[in-house]
Amino acid sequence: MQKNSVAVIGAGKWGQALHFALGQKQKCYITSRTKRDINNFVDLNTALSCEYLIIAIPAQQIRQWLDEHFEFKGQKILVASKGIEASTGKFLNEIYEEFIPSENLGFISGPSFAAEVIKGLPCALVLNSLNKQIFIEFEKLFPDFIKTYYSDDVIGAEICGAYKNVLAIASGICEGMNLGNNARVSLISRGLVEMQRFGSHFGAKMETFIGLSGAGDLFLTASSELSRNFRVGLGLANNKTLDEILEELGEVAEGVKTSYAINSLNKKHKIYTPIANEVYSILEGKNPKDSLKDLLKD
Ligand SMILES: NC(=O)C1=CN([C@@H]2O[C@H](COP(=O)(O)OP(=O)(O)OC[C@H]3O[C@@H](n4cnc5c(N)ncnc54)[C@H](O)[C@@H]3O)[C@@H](O)[C@H]2O)C=CC1
Ligand SMILES: O=C(CO)COP(=O)(O)O
């Protein structure tokens, strides 16, 4: 293993933004499935031999990628994805822990549109790990324009990062239906309560929901067209099919598959999640106007 070396795995929007950010203080490698014309682009084996890895591939692809490509050699890993595995209902920390010891793992959360990070605009992020040493080591790699906080609430961060994407779809639908500011903010506020209810069932801490990982990322994603998930909602309200929306988007919108995962988890664990239920139903063909009626009377 190459001591003190850093690599990003996945050269999508977020991977490239993190590569830019981490490249400010030290050399930062990047790799992806297809070769890209990016500074310090390397093959996968070179990236995997780095001591510090930041993995930014879509949530639904993680298990297969770890299975087929990853070899644990003591690397320290920061997970940058946000989502829940639809086929199993597993949170990303649970998947990673099947392959990597938890003391080597950290998870990024908080409000962070890649499009702004890649311009060097300021933001604040949380690095979540059960091992504070992971935070101490990764914190030093981040540039001055990003303020990093530590939390040991890994499950809370995972749930917030995943759930807010589903709520951003709901908010986009609300916006696309021209329901007004009162409706959108009511939806976001009740969404925060719902996300906290869901998360506390799995042991997440209250403080995570009112901080950057929870309210912070939810307010950002559920109120801006920079969010891919919000744009999925706009498309659904405008009667586009999901296939059309995703094709136009050309990037991952994690909230779609995550809403399927939440739908299974809330049935299994009997958790009351009315907004996520309506997003799931709309993705399955329900008319958003009927969802609105049901949410208002539920
Ligand atoms: N874009 C953003 O502002 C932020 C994104 N995220 C999260 O980061 C993750 C990645 O998002 P983006 O980079 O924005 O998406 P993207 O759609 O821009 O890129 C996804 C990347 O993953 C790669 N990929 C897809 N399947 C793969 C596989 N089987 N093996 C290896 N690589 C594969 C694609 O080639 C692509 O480079 C998502 O979970 C997202 O929620 C988190 C914070 C901010
Ligand atoms: O997670 C994000 C910002 O924190 C990005 O959200 P979208 O994937 O909806 O664009």
Please state at what angle helix 288-297 crosses helix 154-176, rounded to 10 degrees: 120
Active-site choice (27, 90, 140, 164): 164
227 annotated among ligand-binding-site residues: yes
The answer to whether the CB of 144 falls within 8 A of the CB of 198 is: no
Report the residue among 252, 254, 256 best suited for mutation to probe ligand 1: largest number of ligand atoms under 8 A from its CB: 252
Pocket probe for ligand 1: among 31, 57, 218, the residue whose CB has the most ligand atoms within 8 Å is 57
- CA distances from residue 285 to 86, 235, 264 in whole angstroms, order as listed: 18, 13, 18
Taking the CA of residue 123 as centre, how many other CA atoms within 13 Å lie in the half-sphere pointing to its CB? 25
How big, in percent rounded to 5, are the helix, strand and coil portions of the chain? 55, 15, 30
| Ligand 2 contact via 258 beta carbon (within 6 Å) | no
CA of 296 to the centre of ligand 1 (A): 35
Q: Mind listing the domains of the chain with CATH numbers? A: 2-152 (3.40.50.720), 155-297 (1.10.1040.10)
Ligand 1 lined by 168 (C-beta under 6 Å)? no
Long-range contacts of 95-99 (CB under 8 A, 24+ apart): 95/62, 95/63, 95/66, 96/62, 96/66, 98/63, 98/66, 99/66, 99/67, 99/70, 99/72
203 among annotated binding-site residues: no
Q: Which amino acid is at 219?
A: F
How many angstroms separate the Cα of 282 from the Cα of each of 198, 202, 277? 20, 26, 9
Write out the chain's pLDDT in tens, 298 residues. Answer: 899 999 999 999 999 999 999 999 999 999 999 999 999 999 999 999 999 999 999 999 999 999 999 999 999 999 999 999 999 999 999 999 999 999 999 999 999 999 999 999 999 999 999 999 999 999 999 999 999 999 999 999 999 999 999 999 999 999 999 999 999 999 999 999 999 999 999 999 999 999 999 999 999 999 999 999 999 999 999 999 999 999 999 999 999 999 999 999 999 999 999 999 999 999 999 999 999 999 999 6
Q: Which ligand is nearest to the CA of 59?
A: 1
CB of 76 within 6 A of ligand 2: the answer is: no
What are 30's two structure tokens?
């990047």
Concerning whether 76 is annotated as a catalytic residue, the answer is no
Ligand that comes closest to the CA of residue 112: 2
